[in-house]
Structure 1
Amino acid sequence: MAVVKGSQQERLVIRQYRPWERFRRNLYLLLFIAAIGVGGYFGGVYDSMSSISDLTAERDSLQGSLQDAERTITTLTQRVGVLEKGGEVDRKATEGIRQTVKELKAQISTLEEEVAFYKGIMAPSADDKGLRISKIDLQPLETKGRYRYSIMLTQVADNSSYISGLAAVNFVGLQTTEKVILPLRDMDSSVTDLGVKFRFRYFQEVSGEIQLPDNFTPEQVQVVLQSTGSKAQRVEQTIDWPQAGEAS
């Protein structure tokens, strides 16, 4: 073909037509992202199951120690009954072992609660899923009218992603003769909003200390959880204020 001098020539590039190339690249990318997500989820499950296994083993060990201690108590009790003078040393030893048994039982009870807690998260019942208030605890402190509060929030079964929202805590009671509802920020100086923000995947503890106002007699504690996002949930729970000597 004749070329006109001074005219601009266009270059023709021939490429192989591969209509499935882009589709395969996108498919591989999606499979890679999915593999990372599945790996992260099962990694979290593995960590939780390892914690359950360790706590169960420690509980079993403490139960063995408890049985040995109870056998020792039985032996010492028999010795005390046989000895004419009673043996002050034996009595002190028996009392020490009784105290040890009491402490071991308390540790076993705590471990059993922790095992049940982790099992409840990883293997819940069919109706017990989603955002939950697992525990509301109030413990009196040495200062009059001062308490430590602890609220355990959990995301049961559906814990493949983080959940966030606001936890509102209210105290219902009588102030002089009038029934009132006081928010947490009126009793906990570290809280400035109407609620406490939360964000977690498996569980989160909301805790602090409160000082009851003068002339206020508490009757109930109300906790309201409101999560955000496409699967927003609202969870409410009310408990009676624990009486003296009780743990909620």
Structure 2
Amino acid sequence: MARKKVKGSKQYRMKVVPHRPVFGLMSVAGIAGLLLVATWSAYYAGQYQERNRSEEQARQLNQLRSQFLNASTENERLRVELASAEQSALIEQKASEQVRAELVLEQSRIAELREEIAFYRGLMAPAAAEQGVSVGDLTISPTAAERRYQYKLVVQQLAANHQIVTGYVSMKVVGSENGAEASYPLHVLSSDVEAERIGLRFKYFQNIEGELQLPEGFTPERIELSLRSGGRSGANVDKRYAWLVQES
């Protein structure tokens, strides 16, 4: 009997396969095993790579820590050396300043001694043209008080055979006040002087010294001195000193 073909649809050949449920289970188990093995392999491979990465990071960290400790040790050593060098430089600087100050002081003492030697040499063995009563330089120095000054003047006898010198000295400070010339006798400005005439009585020399206070508004310009002495070394001396204040 001939088969009748059905038009419009594709015909498939049918094959009869024996039903084997055990084989199917074994296939599924094999595939699952393969998946499990692949999963564990991937896991252990990842763990191995992660362990290697952690070990490398730990090695690098230890290396950085060692470098940091070495740098800290070197930095501390350099800090100690720098502090020691700064301390040495400071000590040398202070020592140099002290030596310089002592040298300046010693030079000042030498200059003072030379002045004193010259002074006493002039007293004891003056030149013939220098014999008589001599008035030295006038020194004016500032004090801690405003407009208050120290003054010092030396009057001396230059002679081979010294005699008692008597007489007096009068001094006044001349300057300007309120746009006009003004003058003040020394005894008005200085409590160390009792009268306008300062008495003289000496054989070798006499110091005239003390402190004076300038009035407000008064600008000093000079000091005028007048000396009168009697006896064999009698002298009449008139001098003017510019108002020059020495640095303290």
Q: 1:235 aligns with which of 226, 234, 237?
A: 237
| CA RMSD after TM alignment | 2.0
Give the whole-Å Cα distance in 1 for the aligned partners of 2:92 and 2:232.
66
> Aligned partner of 1:173: which letter?
G
The answer to whether the Cα contact below 8 Å between 2:132 and 2:234 also exists between their aligned partners in 1 is no
The answer to whether the Cα contact below 8 Å between 2:126 and 2:160 also exists between their aligned partners in 1 is no
- TM-score normalized by the length of structure 1: 0.61
Question: Corresponding residue for 2:132?
Answer: 130
The unaligned stretches of length 5 or more in structure 2 are: 1-83
Give the whole-Å Cα distance in 1 for the aligned partners of 2:200 and 2:220.
25
Question: Corresponding residue for 1:160?
Answer: 162
The unaligned stretches of length 5 or more in structure 1 are: 1-82
Question: Corresponding residue for 1:3?
Answer: none
Q: Highest CA radius of gyration, 1 or 2?
A: 2
Residue identity over aligned pairs, in percent, reads 31
The answer to whether the Cα contact below 8 Å between 1:121 and 1:157 also exists between their aligned partners in 2 is yes
Structure 2 residue matching 1:135: 3-state secondary structure: coil
Deviation string, structure 1 residues 166-193 (Cα, Å, up to 9, x no partner): 1101111001211022111110124232
Question: Corresponding residue for 1:75?
Answer: none
Structure 2 residue matching 1:213: 3-state secondary structure: coil
Give the whole-Å Cα distance in 2 for the aligned partners of 1:160 and 1:121.
9
Structure 2 residue matching 1:165: 3-state secondary structure: strand
Question: Corresponding residue for 1:53?
Answer: none
Give the whole-Å Cα distance in 2 for the aligned partners of 1:230 and 1:108.
35
Give the whole-Å Cα distance in 2 for the aligned partners of 1:87 and 1:170.
54
Give the whole-Å Cα distance in 2 for the aligned partners of 1:196 and 1:173.
21
The answer to whether the Cα contact below 8 Å between 2:133 and 2:234 also exists between their aligned partners in 1 is no
CA drift of 1:125 comes to: 2.5
1:222 aligned onto 2:224: yes
Give the whole-Å Cα distance in 2 for the aligned partners of 1:121 and 1:188.
29
Give the whole-Å Cα distance in 1 for the aligned partners of 2:94 and 2:247.
30
- TM-score normalized by the length of structure 2: 0.61
Question: Corresponding residue for 2:199?
Answer: 197
Instruction: Count how many residue pairs are aligned between Structure 1 and Structure 2.
Output: 164
Question: Corresponding residue for 1:102?
Answer: 104
CA drift of 1:222 comes to: 1.2
The answer to whether the Cα contact below 8 Å between 1:159 and 1:202 also exists between their aligned partners in 2 is no
Give the whole-Å Cα distance in 2 for the aligned partners of 1:203 and 1:120.
11
Give the whole-Å Cα distance in 2 for the aligned partners of 1:238 and 1:123.
27
Matches within 5 A, 1:5-44: none
Question: Corresponding residue for 1:6?
Answer: none
